[in-house]
């Protein structure tokens, strides 16, 4: 959704920014969630308000980078994933989940000191989040590894 001369417009970013109507958006979202096999009605009620929000340039860029990050992680392209998450953190430096992901990437690339720093920061930002217990395990492992290396 973007502001235009005639008010707000819905644009399809996947087809050259073509204007679409509310009904088409709703139908696309319904088909998307139905294809995933999940409860389409519940997801649609949650997704529709988000799809109708105006998106800033920062939001668009963050979404693109998030999509790239997912692709690179799926392909296990750790260096490219790390470069991408670094860009995301330049835009939004205090998002705990991206700090955790960067820590995991550093760990996979054997940059243990940087991984330790990120995992510690993650726990400061999100000590009660679901992945916190797993991050604590990574932290303990890395502390043992770095102690052995010194």
Residue 127: is its pLDDT beyond 60? yes
43: its two tokens: 């997801």
Task: Encode pLDDT of 41-57 as tens digits.
Answer: 556 777 777 777 777 77
Residue 123: is its pLDDT beyond 60? yes
Phi, psi values for residue 61, rounded to 5°: -65, -40
Residues forming beta bridges with residue 12, ordered by sequence position: 18
pLDDT at 136: 96
Q: State the Cα–Cα distance between residues 50 and 60, nearest whole angstrom.
A: 13
pLDDT at 56: 78
**CA 21, 55, 85, 97 torsion-angle sign:** negative
pLDDT at 107: 96
pLDDT at 82: 98
Using 50, 70 and 90 to split pLDDT, how confident is the model at 129?
Answer: very high
What lies within 8 Å, CB to CB, of 80 at 6+ separation is 68, 72
The average pLDDT across 15-40 equals: 78
Q: Tell me which of 14 and 66 has the higher pLDDT.
A: 66
Give, as one character, the DSSP assignment of residue 11: E
pLDDT at 37: 62
Owner of token pair 């550093």: 106
Q: Tell me which of 27 and 40 has the higher pLDDT.
A: 27
> Which helix (H) or strand (E) is 20 found in, with range?
strand 18-20
Give, as one character, the DSSP assignment of residue 7: E
The average pLDDT across 66-94 equals: 96
The average pLDDT across 7-28 equals: 83
Residue 144: is its pLDDT beyond 80? yes
pLDDT at 139: 94
Q: State the Cα–Cα distance between residues 89 and 94, nearest whole angstrom.
A: 7
- What mean pLDDT is reported for the chain? 87
């Amino acid at each position: 959704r973007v502001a235009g001369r005639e008010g707000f417009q819905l644009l399809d970013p996947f087809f050259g920014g073509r204007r679409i109507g509310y009904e088409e958006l709703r139908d696309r979202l319904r088909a998307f969630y139905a294809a995933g096999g999940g409860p389409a009605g519940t997801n649609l009620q949650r997704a529709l308000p988000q799809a109708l929000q105006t998106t800033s340039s920062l939001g668009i860029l963050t979404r693109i980078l998030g999509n790239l990050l997912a692709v690179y992680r799926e392909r296990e392209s750790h260096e490219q994933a790390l470069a991408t998450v670094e860009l995301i953190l330049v835009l939004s430096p205090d998002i705990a989940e991206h700090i955790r992901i960067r820590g995991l990437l550093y760990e996979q690339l054997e940059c243990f000191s940087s991984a330790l720093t990120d995992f510690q920061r993650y726990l400061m930002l999100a000590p009660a989040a679901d992945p916190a217990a797993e991050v604590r395990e990574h932290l303990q492992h890395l502390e043992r590894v770095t102690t052995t290396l010194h």
